[in-house]
A = this chain, B = another copy of it.
Amino acid sequence: MFPYKTSIKFDRKCNQALYLQLANQIIQLIKNRILTPNTKLPGSRTLAQQLNVHRKTVVACYEELSLQGWVESISKKGTFVHQNLPILHQQKIKGYQVNNLNINTGFSFYKNNISSKSTLNKKENFIYLNDGISDVRLTPIDEIARTYRRICAKKNIFEHLSYGSTYGNDTLRKVIVNYLNTTRGLHITKKNVLITRGSQMGIWLSSQLLLKKEDVIVVGNTNYKSADTTFLNQQANLKRVLVDKDGIVTSEIENLCKQQQIKAVYITSHHHHPTTVTLSAKRRIHLLNLSKKYHFAIIEDDYDYDFNYNHAPILPLASHDTNGNVIYIGSVCKTVAPVFRVGYLIASEYFVDQAAKLRGFVDRQGDALLELTFADFIKSGDLDRHIRKVMKIYRQRRDLFCKLLKKELNDVFQFEIPKGGMAVWIKLNSNYSWEIITEVAKKNKLEIGNWQRYDNANLKHNYIRIGFATYNENEIHELINRFKKTFYEIKV
């Protein structure tokens, strides 16, 4: 008889019931052809004795095996390994556990060479540059978590726990309508609103609906990297036009329109990403007129509308759009904290319907509880209060950061003080290269990261974008010091 006693091991600390542990091990033995078809299994009493378990455990195990079709119980004869089981062809892997999932697949599939976002494993005491994200230490996390719990405790909460609308929670949609109409001068109704998981989803949905292989989308010659890769992933034909101190040069877009059908223009009108410049009123109107004349979509990514230090925010193009040409994208991520994946896509009703349908395929729906939490957060004025609070802090940080840059690194960096946003667009003196600086900075625990992403068109402009909002006063001093040290070491 097969040596069950030595082959079967129980883990008494494990949550799994003994009969299941036994059954799974017998299945392994059958699968590995150690117990072959038609093998008679020992009687329940015998096996129980051998394994030192209760007889009921073995009986339950055999019942389970029988139900799963691994064994057959023949009355008065006993329990047998099922005779019709085919052999499971297992790959033999040298040096690996047989059951480890492979690193490679056993099938072919469509790989993608365009890289999307990645995450760094952060090292301690390092300062990491970013391209302008909020300081998560300022997140009103207590307020939000308290609101979340309060909402979950509401009597009518159950109606929000089942499947919901692919358009997003209705209450949040209404709050967003009111919020955007008041703050951004939009003139929308609920039907123009799709709640997304942040701006990236808005950009992705738009690109799916607008772009197929070789379709033309116009972007700045410097442009937000994630938008570029999203369009490239769609195999679109990216046409890059100049960005100057007044934003994207719309006369160049007009020239393109005269030559070929363009499907869309992607803009970050409020503060161009990465250069931080604002699109002038003249060009705004020009672009809107072009979109009407040439029937293209304007994807307006208003990623940091809320942060303006010198003047009130400029109304988005969407507020002037009467032809249904603008797809307006925003989120609360940048304003509150990236972890809260709540954003919106505003467009004509017909486009919103199609975008909602598409998002239904992807992740079905958003998180109604989080959406209700943010509806409350916006409606109560908490969001506005939060913005006022952090804006003051970010302005101070911008001022300090720019002052120190000017004072300590004037010979290596050129920049304009940004009027808003959370980042500075900084040009490196042409005597230096970011490649070398990145290497040396790393030794000084300053991680510059992928500086090439600011030059997708390979213009060799020597600029990178550095966020200032994440660092407090001490950290800004330390950041500047590490830069100074880096340049000192390079000069020597």
Contacts and interface: CB of A to CB of B under 8 A. Distances in A.
B101 A321 contact: yes
A107 B201 contact: no
A125 interface: no
Interface in A325-380: 325, 337-341, 346-351, 354, 357-358, 360-370
A367 B364 contact: no
Copies of this protein in the assembly total: 2
A440 to B, nearest CB: 26
B322 A361 contact: no
Contacts of A16: 182-183
Interface string A184-217: 0111110110001110110010001110100000
A361 B210 contact: no
A398 to B, nearest CB: 17
A324 B105 contact: yes
Nearest to A369: B339
15 contacts: A14-B182, A15-B182, A84-B282, A99-B322, A101-B192, A101-B346, A103-B349, A107-B210, A107-B295, A116-B357, A141-B152, A142-B153, A144-B152, A146-B149, A229-B361
A82 interface: yes
Interface stretch (A311-319, A389-397, A429-437, A447-455): A311-319
Given A101-B324, A200-B361, A368-B339, A108 B295 contact: yes
A458 interface: no
Interface string A274-304: 0000001110011011011101110000000
A117 interface: yes
Contact of A187 (B99, B139, B358): B99
Contacts of A106: 291-292, 295, 297, 323-325, 348
Contacts of A361: 116, 200, 204, 229-230, 233
Question: What are the 7 A-B residue pairs with the smallest beta carbon separation, nearest first?
Answer: A116-B360, A69-B281, A145-B152, A102-B324, A136-B161, A197-B363, A106-B323
Nearest to A286: B86
A24 B183 CA distance: 10
Contacts of A320: 31, 88
Given A116-B358, A166-B117, A350-B105, A282 B182 contact: no
A249 B97 CA distance: 31
Chain A interface size range: 35 or more
Interface of chain A, main secondary structure: loop
A163 interface: yes
Interface of A: 14-17, 19-20, 23-24, 27, 31, 63-64, 67-70, 82, 84-91, 93, 97-112, 115-119, 133, 136-137, 139, 141-142, 144-146, 148-149, 152-153, 157-158, 160-166, 182-183, 185-189, 191-192, 196-198, 200-201, 204, 208-210, 212, 229-230, 233, 263-264, 280-282, 285-286, 288-289, 291-293, 295-297, 310-312, 314-315, 320-325, 337-341, 346-351, 354, 357-358, 360-370, 381, 384
A212 B366 CA distance: 27
Given A68-B315, A103-B324, A106-B348, 6 more contacts: A86-B286, A89-B289, A89-B292, A105-B348, A106-B323, A107-B263
A64 B311 contact: yes
B339 A363 contact: no
Contacts of A369: 339
A348 B165 CA distance: 33
Contacts of A139: 158, 161
B163 A362 contact: no
Contacts of A85: 281-282, 285
A381 B15 CA distance: 10
Contact of A116 (B14, B166, B233, B286): B166
A86 B289 contact: yes
Contacts of A293: 89
A257 to B, nearest CB: 12
Contact of A158 (B86, B136, B362): B136
A298 to B, nearest CB: 9
